[in-house]
């Protein structure tokens, strides 16, 4: 069993690498400056935790003691001279600590860059770090990648937001540069495989997917996979990286200090010069993942039951392309939320009876005229409207239709999740949940979630959001009143449910 240490475990690649290493049978030590940040990770109980400041030689040496392979996944991001100096010091410290601890191999993931060109500060620093580690005296594998495709990858998220939010865009000249993107799944394959390279291998490897594309082509292909109309991309000639990064920061939620190094890297054409990595880590039988399939994997969880929580509280991804809770808040695409909670002076079972009776003849517990108008508009746009009603007046099961919603998940007595089937420029869910309190009352939680589809989806949410206070606020108040009335009239409860749980909807 190979003993490996992984630094940068709170980052995008590191957090996904640990479970892959465990699955490959390695013994993993997760190294972090503050290990308490790793508590609650699905793999936390399966690894050894080591606390170390990357700039402290003694702490890093102790963290690497007894390790066969050390993964260096630490990067600074910035635009001034300090970040490059910090990268240099940290790499020198790690190299010395690995040598003194008797580490047999270092594995580093850096950036792909063209040889013989003046590089951006970001890529120049990545290049220098790789050279420091290769000169450490410890056999080192340096993997050099361009744009990594996967939900949470900063370069992928930038492309996602630009494409989704701008059906027509004016762009700088770098959108015509060639790029060789690679799926996060294949990046992880190469990282895991590098742990078992022969002792005499001490070099860098270019890693990329099977296709070389212009950046504008990547945006168009993303739009096609995401079901968006083709984008109109108009070049504006020369535009400095600084102005480009300001433009990206204005249009997307990617922070400016991160947008600039990403944009500066795209100023260069980043295409692999060799594929020697396959000598040591063979390509999978089905081949490396292409761009379209990589994007499809990054988006595939859209529409599944856990979408309503995937950006903030998902546990462990089903695949490397999936989001992680440790991903930054702006990663994963736009997800709008309207969450409301209220205390109900009724036990949880009474509230649950009210929740299960939602829709159909009993309505939605608020502003009935607005719900009817929305139903009529939906019919005019080709949707189901409110005409479907519901199969049973008081009981629901998964896949039941409830007006223009569909029951997606039920946790009996606790949670009901509905997926919208009305005509929308995006995907929407409504989650109703109840939690019992110690004093016999309950907390009613109502969460509306919307994943917009391109710019029309963004505009739709902006248009309807001002009415949520009336519609969703009124709905929550109506359900509270209905549950409290139910408590005072328990004689109205029959064996099939509540005789009038929707009495507050008129």
CB 501 within 8 A of CB 357: yes
* Separation CA 267–CA 264 (nearest Å): 5
- Which parts of 195-274 fold into alpha helices (H)? 215-225, 241-251, 256-266
pLDDT band (50, 70, 90) for residue 502: very low
Nearest to 297 by CA among 315, 317, 319, 313: 319
CB 242 within 8 A of CB 253: no
| pTM: predicted TM-score of the whole model, two decimal places | 0.71
Nearest to 502 by CA among 390, 337, 338: 390
CA 475: distance to chain centroid?
31
Over 50: is that where the pLDDT of 341 sits? Answer: yes
* Separation CA 487–CA 477 (nearest Å): 16
Q: What is the pLDDT of residues 131-181, one digit of tens each?
A: 999 999 999 999 999 999 998 888 898 888 888 888 888 777 778 889 999
Over 80: is that where the pLDDT of 325 sits? Answer: no
Q: Copy the structure tokens of residue 57.
A: 């030689």
Domains of the chain (ranges; CATH) run 3-310 (3.40.50.720), 336-505 (3.30.530.20)
At residue 320, the pLDDT reads 58
* Separation CA 282–CA 288 (nearest Å): 10
Buried b (16+ CB within 10 A) or exposed e, 291-323: bebbbebbbebbeeeebbebbeebeebeebbbb
Q: What is the pLDDT of residues 290-318, one digit of tens each?
A: 999 999 998 875 444 343 333 223 333 44
């Amino acid at each position: 069993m190979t003993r490996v240490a992984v630094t940068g475990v709170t980052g995008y690649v590191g957090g996904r690498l640990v479970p892959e290493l465990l699955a490959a049978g390695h013994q993993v030590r997760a190294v972090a400056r503050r290990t308490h940040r790793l508590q609650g990770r699905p793999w936390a109980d399966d690894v050894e935790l080591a606390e170390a400041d990357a700039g402290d030689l003694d702490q890093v040496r102790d963290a690497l003691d007894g390790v066969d392979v050390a993964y260096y996944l630490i990067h600074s991001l910035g635009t001034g001279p300090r970040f490059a100096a910090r990268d240099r010091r940290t790499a020198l410290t790690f190299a010395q600590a690995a040598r003194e601890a008797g580490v047999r191999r270092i594995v580093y993931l850096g950036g792909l860059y063209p040889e013989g060109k003046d590089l951006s500060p970001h890529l120049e620093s990545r290049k220098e770090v790789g050279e420091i580690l290769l000169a450490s005296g410890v056999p080192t594998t340096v993997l050099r990648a361009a744009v990594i495709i996967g939900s949470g990858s900063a370069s992928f998220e930038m492309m996602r937001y630009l494409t989704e939010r701008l059906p027509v865009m004016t762009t700088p000249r770098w959108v015509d540069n060639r790029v060789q993107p690679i799926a996060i799944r294949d990046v992880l394959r190469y990282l895991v495989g590098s742990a078992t390279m022969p002792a005499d291998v001490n070099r860098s490897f270019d890693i990329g997917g099977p296709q070389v594309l212009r950046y504008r082509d990547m945006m168009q292909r993303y739009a096609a996979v995401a079901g968006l109309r083709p984008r109109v991309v108009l070049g504006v000639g020369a535009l400095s990286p600084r102005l480009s990064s300001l433009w990206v920061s204005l249009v997307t939620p990617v922070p400016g200090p991160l947008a600039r190094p990403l944009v500066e890297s795209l100023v260069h054409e980043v295409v692999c010069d060799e594929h020697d990595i396959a000598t040591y880590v063979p390509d999978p039988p089905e081949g490396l993942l292409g761009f379209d399939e990589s994007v499809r994997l990054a988006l595939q969880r859209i529409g599944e039951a856990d979408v309503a929580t995937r950006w903030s509280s998902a546990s462990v991804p089903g695949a490397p392309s999936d989001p992680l809770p440790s991903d930054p808040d702006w990663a994963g695409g736009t997800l709008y939320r309207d969450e409301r909670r209220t205390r109900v002076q009724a036990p949880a079972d009474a509230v649950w009876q009210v929740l299960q009776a939602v829709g159909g003849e009993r309505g939605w517990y608020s502003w009935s005229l607005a719900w009817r108008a929305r139903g009529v508009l939906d019919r005019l746009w080709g949707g189901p409207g409110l005409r479907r009603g519901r199969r049973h007046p008081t009981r629901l099961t998964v896949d039941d239709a409830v007006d223009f919603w569909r029951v997606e998940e039920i946790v009996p007595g606790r949670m009901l999740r509905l997926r919208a089937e009305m005509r929308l420029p995006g995907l929407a869910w409504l989650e109703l949940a109840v939690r019992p309190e110690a004093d016999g009352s309950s907390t009613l939680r109502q969460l509306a979630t919307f994943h917009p589809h391109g710019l029309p989806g963004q505009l739709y949410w902006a248009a309807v959001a001002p009415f949520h206070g009336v519609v969703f606020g009124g709905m929550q108040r109506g359900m509270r009143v209905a549950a409290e009335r139910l408590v005072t009239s328990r004689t109205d409860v029959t064996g099939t449910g509540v005789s009038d749980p929707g009495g507050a909807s008129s």
